[in-house]
Structure 1
Amino acid sequence: MKTVDDVERDAERIELSPTGDSNRRPQSDRGNGGDKANGHAREPSEIYDAADLRFQTFPPLQQIVGEIIVEGLTVLAARPKVGKTWLMLDIAIAVGAGGYCLGDIQCEQGDALYLALEDNPRRLQRRLRKLLGMHKREWPHFKVAHKWPRADQGGIEQLRNWIAGAKNPKLIVIDVFARFRKLVPAGKQNYDSDYASIAELQTLAAENGVAIVVVHHLRKSEADDDPLDTVSGTLGLTAAADAILVINKTAQGTSLYGRGRDVDEIDKALRFDSDTARWAIIGERAEVERSDQRRAIIKLLEEAGPQAPKEIAAALNRKDGNIRGLLGKMVKNDEIIKLERGVYAISPPPGNIDNIDNNRSGKQSETQQNRGFWWDRDC
């Protein structure tokens, strides 16, 4: 079933008929900008007829990093030391050079600004040498700052000035958001303050057609079913953002989950190359994990012999229902066989099918490695 966001994205993809005046701007009724309320100038309201949108045309959203990062405000959240800075540095390098990141995603070339607010020049040099190599003939150009005013102390205005002065501004990275946002007294953080802290940046990105990525942290709890609920802070942060990306590292591997107003939902499996310090997308998370689980099941059955679904689920620390479903698919694909009484085993080689014995006595005390394959056992 489609979500509200899915319906909105589908609506944006409708190709309108060329009939009608596509360049006609909606007529608006502006409020009196001179009105004042409580001594403050009131922002003029703009009202237009929704019917005027029927043949209105808008430029497509710029894809800065494929469909992973598009123009607008994106929150990238992960636990400390997972590698989010390595990822965003690699992306900034790729944008500056018009190169590739995350494996095979080509970035839109343009000016990039990286606010490395937790790093210093020495540490950044070490990171860049790891990513680019000491002896690379020429390093890609992108701008870096280690100190920047907080949002309420001129930080937003300085970002606006950088955008205005850049020849082709495409990307701004704020790493980390906690060192940029307005300070909130302890115990005073709430939905409104979180929403406002993101909304200013979201407006700046929208007005200038650039991508702004704020690097943030996840909460300690992992009990939430929705990855977006693991983002540190209140729901105001995720509500104001155009898109949210979450890097999640579990026993099953590392994944990049994303959801946004203008992009499709993604759930990718990631792999980090410690030699190059680069992240790469290796496929859809569900498919990659399923492949890993298949290999784990076959290895378990090879070593421990025939197993019941509950035993397999317990050994692999997976949910019993998920394992049962996967076992059925593996039987259908002839990867394993199902014995009587709901016991599964690896498929025997040709000529051994008559030797199947469902007697599993003694298998708990001896492993497959010690006794050979189950079909050769003298049970």
Structure 2
Amino acid sequence: MASLAGTMRRRGMSEDEIAAAILVANKQRCDPPLPDEEVQRIAASVGRYAPESTLLPVTLTLTKPPSNSIENTPVAGLPTDHVDVVAPIGGQQQQQGRFCRQTLGDLRANYKPTRWLIEHLLPIIGILLMAGIPGIGKTWLVLLFALVVATGRSLLGRFQTRQGAVLLVLEEEDSSAVLERLDALYAGLELSQEEGDALPIHVLIQQGVSLVTVEGTLEPELLRHIEEVKPVLVVLDPFRRVHGLDENDSGQMSALFNLLRQLQVDMNCSLLLIHHLRKRSEHTEDALDRLRGSSDIAASVDSVLEIGGQFGSLVVKHSKSKRGRALGSFLIKSEMMSGAIRFSYQDSDIAAEIDREEIRKFILQILSEGPLNQSKLWEAGKERGFGRDRIKKACVELEKERLVEQQVGPRNSKLFILTDLVVDAPAPPSTTRSQEEETVEREEWVL
């Protein structure tokens, strides 16, 4: 949207004209569309500049880097394809020109093993993209990640962390909700309120933070906060609200990640970006294909976590890792009790079983309302985020178990129906009082 608005302004359009045009473009081109007030803010920002000014050149302005708590030099092995000029290394002779050629021996002489901020998930001076549908509980995980890094504790009792300061940029949360969640997490980690509040975690909540100025440089005010905090981890939640660019424009996304990579090297920090997923379709269930925006986003990060399932039993798929093998799927269980929330890790076999059971329950529930042909069943599954292949596999299982069968319908169509084994099955026992109380308690928590 910012690029489109900039083009209109350079051609002499007024703020009102730009706002009217990009409001229409937002609804037609963005999935999901940005809020109207955010679109109006883009138009107002661009409207301050004179026509024919260059609003988004690919440039970079950085102040002097700090010496933070991890190390003073970039981690060897960091991909350098995002940096225009690579300095000579080792005893290599100075070369003239824009690029610096290296031999394999040069690379070997300067090799260091990957060092992790969060073991197997986020390397030091790396980018982790956490993606999921709205409301699934990503912000709970953001706060958990911040707490374990700030304390140096392991994540979920499974992944070791390196301790350091954290800067949280939260553009969709309010202070009260953040504090309430933190109090629950403190209790789950057995931290007092005083101990938790004293941790080196700094927050920018609903500050309208922008990564990039209209001139195409990194925002100096954000750089100032990073210099002062010296964080080992910077969290941007959600990512789309802090850059103001067109996520479907590969050129803009590539330029943005060029800036972020240089920011990381100079400021010696890792990034956690919170992103949204498109709904599953019959064509793809792959997390990387479902990421909102250009494929340059997935290509530019070091690690991707897809968050699925439901809060309480989150199915996490580690679908990409540039440093080592991706871990595949695992489960994050959460329990709320007496004002405390505790998260725990369970292995991939359990996660796959949870996913399988969700689809089976969906099929049995929808067929209890009446027979459905294949196309209607696929369509209903698509609305719930289940792909065709997964529904087919579940139907085959249910037919083998004689819970579902096929009958010939009108015009020789195939209808799926429930068998007598399901129809005549007794109703499940009523919920006990303790379960009801637990359900009410859980519903009070806002995701």
1:262 is aligned to 2:328: no
1:181 is aligned to 2:243: yes
Structure-1 residue corresponding to 2:15: none
Contact conserved, 2:149 with 2:165, CA < 8 A, in 1? yes
Structure-2 residue corresponding to 1:309: none
Counterpart of 1:138 in structure 2: which amino acid? Answer: E
Counterpart of 1:136 in structure 2: which amino acid? Answer: Q
Structure-2 residue corresponding to 1:194: 253
Counterpart of 1:30 in structure 2: which amino acid? Answer: Q
Structure-1 residue corresponding to 2:195: 138
Please list, as runs of the form range in 1=range in 2, the aligned pairs for 1:1-379 lying within 5 A after superposition. 24-31=90-97, 45-53=98-106, 55-71=108-124, 72-133=126-187, 135-139=192-196, 140-146=199-205, 147=207, 149-153=209-213, 156-166=219-229, 169-184=231-246, 189-223=248-282, 224-249=284-309, 254-258=314-318, 259-266=320-327, 267-275=329-337, 276-284=340-348, 286-290=349-353, 366-367=424-425
The alpha-carbon deviation at position 205 of structure 1 amounts to 1.9
Inter-partner Cα distance in structure 2 for 1:235 and 1:161: 31
TM-score normalised per structure 1: 0.63
Please list every run of 5 or more consecutive structure 1 residues that lacks an aligned counterpart in the other structure: 1-11, 13-22, 32-44, 298-316, 328-341, 345-360, 370-379
Closer, same or farther: CA 25–262 of 1 in aligned 2, 3 Å: farther
Contact conserved, 1:86 with 1:278, CA < 8 A, in 2? no
Per-residue CA deviation, residues 344-376 of structure 1 (Å, 9 max, x unaligned), is 9xxxxxxxxxxxxxxxx986775499xxxxxxx
Greater shift in the superposed pair: 220-229 or 242-251: 242-251
SS at match of 1:152: coil
Inter-partner Cα distance in structure 2 for 1:90 and 1:287: 22
Inter-partner Cα distance in structure 2 for 1:50 and 1:91: 39
Inter-partner Cα distance in structure 2 for 1:252 and 1:125: 20
Closer, same or farther: CA 198–246 of 1 in aligned 2, 3 Å: farther
Closer, same or farther: CA 55–196 of 1 in aligned 2, 3 Å: closer
The alpha-carbon deviation at position 113 of structure 1 amounts to 0.6
Contact conserved, 1:176 with 1:216, CA < 8 A, in 2? yes
Greater shift in the superposed pair: 207-216 or 251-260: 251-260
Closer, same or farther: CA 198–222 of 1 in aligned 2, 3 Å: farther
- Higher share of residues assigned strand: 1
Per-residue CA deviation, residues 129-181 of structure 1 (Å, 9 max, x unaligned), is 121149534112311112253122265444444444445x3111011112211
The alpha-carbon deviation at position 236 of structure 1 amounts to 1.9
Closer, same or farther: CA 29–226 of 1 in aligned 2, 3 Å: same
Inter-partner Cα distance in structure 1 for 2:313 and 2:194: 35
Closer, same or farther: CA 183–46 of 1 in aligned 2, 3 Å: closer
Contact conserved, 2:218 with 2:259, CA < 8 A, in 1? no
SS at match of 1:101: coil
Closer, same or farther: CA 109–54 of 1 in aligned 2, 3 Å: closer
Aligned Cα RMSD in Å? 4.0
Closer, same or farther: CA 362–143 of 1 in aligned 2, 3 Å: closer
TM-score normalised per structure 2: 0.54
Structure-2 residue corresponding to 1:9: none
Per-residue CA deviation, residues 21-59 of structure 1 (Å, 9 max, x unaligned), is xx834434132xxxxxxxxxxxxx132232442532233
